[in-house]
Amino acid sequence: MEQSSQFWSRRIIWLLLAIATGIFIVVKVKAVMYVSRPALSLYEAVERVPADKIIVVSCNWEPGTRGENGLQTEALIRHCLRNGKHFAIFGWAYPAGPQLGQQIAERLQGRYHRRYGTDWVNWGYKTGQNNMVRAWAQNIPGTIKEDILHKPITSYPVMRGIRSARDVGLILEITPSDTLVTYVRFVYGIYGTPIGYACTGVMAPEGFPYLDAGQIVGLLKGLAGAAEYEQLLHYRGEALKRMPAQSSAHLLIIALIVVGNVLYFRARRRGEAPGRRLST
């Protein structure tokens, strides 16, 4: 059985990684997150929404990305509830999305003494994608008709005076997939309604051009985005709690890259050929 130095160096690296992350799970460290400009702009955009307008929390995600989108939704809904901004949960990409949003909002509402119907509402899952969103922007009560509890949405006080996308102060699109363009084209493009974007880490590159062009007001990127938002809310949530372990794992990988290079250059100076070919 060969037990080369490579065999053990790999095991040591893995053990280090387990320790580096595990230690910050067991030992609780108070995490501080630095806030990036896209996250701050999103926070400010929520703060700016006037009292007579509603915020749309567009839950276009499903349980698979709960670790990123779930925490983002939680932070954003917490902000709305805390500041008494009226909001509507909505979704059209995944049937489970609005249901997941509902669970989060129901869990949080008591803490800020808010009630369903007067402070927030859930429009539920609506099919039809682009065409539905286009119609919705024109006529909200006519397109949505019923909320998630199958009651007419006009019966809720929170919906008073909400007719079209012009009465929407901000759309918060939370998603792991390429749904943003629908809102940009059919709502922002026609009515100029501001859009905030919260997406998974891998989707973020798709969002930056929209941010640069001013088509979205802010952006939360994956778990880090959720943590930044929790920092802005001064609330120690799950995302912030994970940050020390995340940081130490990233730091370890960077340290490994440095060590790898040092070893490589030392070996090269001694004239030893690198063990394996180039990975090109």
Partner 1 sequence: MNRMPAGLKALIALAAFAVVVYLGIRYRVFAANLGIWLAAICTLAIYSILYRENVVFRFFEHIFIGLATGYSFYTIITQVLQPKWWVPVAKEGKWYWVFALLFSTMFYTVYSKRFSWMNRLAAGSFMGLSAGLGIVGFTTVLGPQMAASFKPLWTSASPYIAVNNILFFITLITVMSYFFFSFEQRHPVVKGSARLGRWLLMVALGAIFGNTVMGRMSLLIDRLQFLLLQWLQVFGRH
Partner 2 sequence: MQARKWAIVAAIYAVSGLLGAVALWGLTHLLSPVFRPATGVAFGLAIAASVVLWIGLIAVIHRLPAAVKKRIVVTATFVAGLFYVLEYYLPAKSAVFFWRAHHTNPFSPMIFTVGDAVSVIFGFTFFLAAFSLSLVHGKSIAARRPGYHNSIAFFVAFIMMAVFGLWETYSPDTTLIHHIGWIRRVTAHQVYDHLFNSMYVPLTATLFSVLSFYMATAAFRAFRIRSAEAAFMMVAAFFCMMGQVPLGMWLTHNLPLHGPLSHLRMEAMANWTLGVISMAGLRAVTFGVLVGGLAISLRIWLNLERGAFFEQEL
Partner 3 sequence: MSTQHANALQAAIVAIIGVVILYMILSARGGRELFIRRIPGLAAIDEAVGRATEMGRPLLFSTGLVGVDIDTLQALAIAQYVSRLAARYGNRLIVPAVDPVIFAIAEQLVREAYTAEGKPEAFRSDDIRFLSSEQFPYAAGVMGIINRERVASTFFFGYFYAEALLLSETGQEVGAIQIAGTPATTQIPFFLASCDYTIIGDEFYAASAYLTREPTLLGSLVGQDIGKALLMLLVIIGTATAAPHLPLHVVSQWLARMLHPGG
Q: Give me the residues that bind partner 1 (CB under 8 A), please.
A: 11, 14, 17-18, 21-22, 25-26, 67-68, 181, 200-202, 204-205, 209, 212-213, 222-224, 242, 245-246, 249-250, 253
- Residue 30 or 280: the one with the smaller Cβ distance to partner 3 is 280
Q: Pick between residue 40 and residue 108 the one whose CB is nearest to partner 2.
A: 40
Between residues 30 and 276, which has the closer beta carbon with respect to partner 3?
Answer: 276
Distance of CA 177 to the CA centre of its chain: 12
| Token pair in block for residue 264 | 């490589």
Q: Mask 193-232, x = binds partner 3 (CB under 8 A)?
A: ---------x------------------------------
Residue of 3, 5, 127, 279 interacting with partner 3 (CB under 8 A): 279
Contacted by 185, from partner 2, partner 1, partner 3, none: CB < 5 to 8 Å by type: partner 3
Tell me the closest approach of the beta carbon of residue 115 to partner 2, in angstroms. 33
Query: Do residues 100 and 59 touch, judged by C-beta distance below 8 A?
Result: yes
| Strands, E assignment, the chain | 54-59, 87-91, 120-125, 168-175, 195-199, 218-221
Q: Smallest distance from the beta carbon of 121 to partner 2, in angstroms?
A: 32
- Count CB atoms within 10 A of the CB of residue 15: 10
Residue in 37, 48, 107, 115 binding partner 2, rule: CB under 8 A:
37
By CB under 8 A, the residues from 247 to 276 that bind partner 3 are 276
- Rule CB under 8 A: is residue 40 a binding residue for partner 2? yes
Cβ proximity to partner 3: between 3 and 161 the closer is 3
Whole-number Å distance between alpha carbons of 242 and 39: 18
Strand 87-91: give its sheet, edge to edge. Answer: 120-125, 87-91, 54-59, 168-175, 195-199, 218-221
CA contacts within 13 A on the Cβ side of 38: 25
CA dihedral (41, 232, 195, 90) in degrees, to 10, reads: 180
**How many residues interact with partner 2 (rule CB under 8 A)?**
47
Question: Which H, E and C letters describe 204-257, residue by residue?
Answer: HHHHHHHHHCCCCCEEEEHHHHHHHHHHHCCCCCHHHHHHHHHHHHHHHHHHHH
Q: Tell me if 86 sits within 8 A of 54, measured CB to CB.
A: yes
**Site residues, partner 2 (CB under 8 A):** 10, 13-14, 17-18, 31-38, 40, 201, 204-209, 211-212, 221-222, 224, 227, 243, 246-247, 249-254, 256-257, 259-261, 264, 274, 276, 278-280
**Site residues, partner 3 (CB under 8 A):** 10, 130-131, 185, 202, 276-277, 279-280
